[in-house]
Structure 1
Amino acid sequence: MRIKYNFSVAGFTLQISLPQGWNVDALLPSFRAFRCPDEAEETEKLLTCTVYAAAERPSGVLPGTLLESTVSDMGYVSLYKYDKEAEGYCVTLSAEQKGRLHVMQADVFFSTVQVYLYENERLAGHALSSLLRIAYSQAVLYRGGISLHASAVFCGNRAFLFMGRSGTGKSTHAALWMKYVPGVELLNDDNPTLRMIQGKAYTYGTPWSGKTPCYKPLCFPLGGMVRLKQAPANRFYRQTEVDAFAAILPGCSVIRQDVALRSCLYDTLVQLAEQVPVGILECRPDEEAALMCHRALSPSDQ
């Protein structure tokens, strides 16, 4: 017996099927605010994920070719590409080096996913959430969406995104906006979603927010994006066209080896670069940097 749960993230429906007796709220506490009513069963799904106990996974060596292995906040992650007959991907994740592997298998569109989970492990819920994040970030690319590594705040009826390498100070800059710019609140501190809808850009909160528990099912028009660079003085440089495209690209989640996914991402990025103010902010972690960035991205508020 299985139980299906539906969640709405950035306007997309995710369906997760768990064995009866598994506690969805305990496994995925950050998803609670995104839970859909039962009527969502009739809506089109971005992805459908069926979760099994790890013991149910068919035995044998993992098929396919290893594309990359990474270590991040998600744990130790390896990505495999199946052969041409199977057409799809396999992802393994371990919370610890040489730990037991949670496994996700996905079709080439990441619309149909199976996860084999060691449900009794302490970090089983974190592993499931991370695997869903990987699948979601690829699936949205086919729908004009982007999962972006950034901090997002909102002020009035607009959202603003801060991008940069790990350790650059995205969360710090978001906190400076909240401290010095009236009315600013945090929308998401790690993985907001961007969508182009009828030529306009929107920012959404998601169930994934890094180390900061900020899980808000909210949506705002995108007011601007900035890539942060640490520097001894504060300077803002507006980016347009190719430069704007290049400023946004590094923060986007995409399987680089997949031509179709890259093509979808590039199409959306071109629209974003044309529609949304984008800048580079060389900055110190201070009040002046926050106010300078706010003025540059919000000319009507000056």
Structure 2
Amino acid sequence: MFASHSYLVAGLRLKLLLPAGFDVSRGLPNFRDFASDADAPASGRDPALLLQWVEDLTLPSGAETLFSEESDMGRTTYFSCGGESWFSLDFIGCKALMRVSEDYRKAVFTVDTSAPTAGVVISSLSRALFAQIVLLHDGISVHSSCVVRDRKAYMFLGRSGTGKSTHSRLWIEAFPGTELLNDDNPAVRILPDGPRVFGTPWSGKTDCWRNLSAPLCGIVRLRQAPFDSFEPLDGIQAFSEVYPGCSVLRSDAFLHERLCDNLEMLCSLVKVGRMACLPDLEAARICAAGIATF
């Protein structure tokens, strides 16, 4: 038997169909704040993404390996076969396999739900799918840390180890009332009233799973340096600095085109900058002033 679990992330409805015995409160605590009543009879709304557990799933012998990557969530390998995408994930010995429909709106997966890390694996699979589906809704999943100051959101990007989380903490210390929205994978959507950043259930190693949102005021790519310096960007420079932090299955030409279209629009609406910085309070002040003055 299955149990249906519905969530609302960045205004998009996600439905997980999991074995009835799987304890989502323990296995998926990061989804708790995003629980939705979308399954109520009166809702009448189809989910943007449906992810269903199945007891058995086998990768076709003719599947083509696209690429493989390591992250804090394990090793993920991407395959293609007959117009469908396949994902395999191995996290601390817990292995999963997922088959995704051509439009990325539906997926089935198999994993040992009794494994201690099964919840982490299910969360990772849903994160990978959400990053694709949000592109179809004028959005982008961005690998970044994000704070909210005076009801406006600021996103900090950079290579792993650059100090995105540190810079967010510096803003929180430098500007009273500033709060962390998400520390790894916030989502941006371009809505009729402008770009807006949403917290998501995926925040890396930081337990910051907040179902909140705020208008996006600035995006800054960080790099470590022995000094603090802010540089405003526009046009292709702005696009090029934000692009590496955007999540997309780049082998899919349609999705990649949607990413580029969404990102071009985003960079035309939001201030983008480049910040060379030390891990000090002055860096936060210079960054904030730099965004405010252009």
* Equivalent in the alignment of 1:21: 21
Which consecutive residues of structure 1, in runs of 5 or more, have no partner in the other structure? none
Q: What SS does structure 1 have at the residue aligned with 2:104?
A: coil
CA 1:277/1:49 → structure 2, altered by over 3 Å: closer, same or farther? same
Contact 1:9 1:206 in 2 (8 A): yes
**Cα distance in 2, alignment partners of residues 221 and 59 from structure 1:** 43
Residues 252 and 180 of structure 1, relative CA distance in 2, 3 Å threshold: same
Give the match for residue 9 of structure 1. 9
Structure 1 pair 208–157 and aligned structure 2 pair: CA distance change class (3 A): same
CA distance in 1 between partners of 2:227 and 2:161 (Å): 18
Give the SS at the match of 2:202: coil
The corresponding residue for 1:50 is 52
Question: What is the CA–CA distance in structure 2 between the aligned matches of 1:255 and 1:127, rounded to whole Å?
Answer: 19
Secondary structure at the counterpart of residue 279 of structure 2: coil
Structure 2 distance, partners of 1:217, 1:243, is 32
The answer to whether structure 1 residue 89 and structure 2 residue 85 are counterparts is yes
| Aligned equivalents of 1:60, 1:284: Cα separation in 2 | 47
In the other structure, the counterpart of 1:165 is 159
Judge conservation of contact 1:206–1:215 (CA < 8 Å) in 2. yes
Of the three residues 218, 232, 235, the one matched with 1:224 is 218
Q: 2:192 aligns to what?
A: 198
Instruction: For 2:192 and 2:236, locate their aligned partners in 1 and report how far apart those are by CA, in whole Å.
Output: 22
2:248 maps to which of 254, 258, 266: 254
Cα distance in 1 between the residues matched to 2:26 and 2:110: 17
Q: How does 1:1-302 map to 2 (within 5 A)?
A: 1-37=1-37, 38-39=39-40, 42-52=44-54, 56-59=55-58, 61=60, 63-83=62-82, 87-96=83-92, 99-198=93-192, 200-299=194-293
d(CA) in 1 for partners of 2:62 and 2:211?
A: 37
Distance 2:94 2:118 in 1: 11
In structure 2, what is the Cα distance between the partners aligned to 1:60 and 1:237? 48
Distance of 2:252 and 2:59 partners within structure 1: 26
Partners of 2:109 and 2:59 in 1: CA distance: 16
The alignment yields a C-alpha RMSD, in angstroms, of: 1.5
1:89-136 C-alpha deviation (Å, 9 max, x unpaired): 11000113xx45211110122100111011121111100100110011
Instruction: Give the TM-score taking structure 1 as reference length.
Output: 0.93
* Separation of aligned partners in 2, 1:13 and 1:159: 23
Structure 1 residue 62: deviation in Å? 5.1
Deviates more, 1:159-168 or 1:56-65: 56-65
Displacement, 1:228? 0.1
Separation in 2 of the partners of 1:209 and 1:100?
Answer: 21
Distance (Å, rounded) in 2 between the aligned partners of 1:199 and 1:270: 17
Greater shift, 117-126 or 38-47, is seen at 38-47
How far residue 257 of structure 1 moved from its aligned partner, in angstroms, is: 1.2
Please tell me the residue identity of whatever aligns with 1:10.
A
Report the AA paired with residue 160 of structure 2: S
Give the distance between the partners of 2:266 and 2:199, measured in 1 at CA.
Answer: 18
Q: 1:199 to 1:41 in 2, by over 3 A?
A: closer
Q: Secondary structure at the match of 1:168?
A: coil
1:160, distance to aligned residue in structure 2 (A)? 0.2
TM-score by length of 2: 0.96
Q: Following the alignment from structure 1 to structure 2, what is the Cα–Cα distance between the partners of residues 263 and 58?
A: 31
Does the CA-based 8 Å contact 1:27-1:126 persist in structure 2?
yes
Post-superposition shift, 1:61? 4.7
Look up the SS of the partner of 2:232 in the other structure: strand
The CA deviation at 1:74 is: 1.1
Decide whether the 8 Å contact of 1:223 with 1:298 is kept in 2: no
Aligned in 2, Cα 1:41/1:91: closer, same or farther, shift over 3 Å? Answer: farther
- CA, structure 1 residues 62+140, in 2 after alignment: closer, same or farther (shift >3 Å)? farther
- Deviation, structure 1 residue 63: 4.3
Deviations 1:227-256 (A, max 9, x none): 001111111110001111111100000111
**Cα shift at 1:42:** 2.1
Aligned residues: 292
Q: Compared with structure 1, are the counterparts of its residues 58 and 212 closer, same or farther at alpha carbon in structure 2 (3 Å cutoff)? A: closer
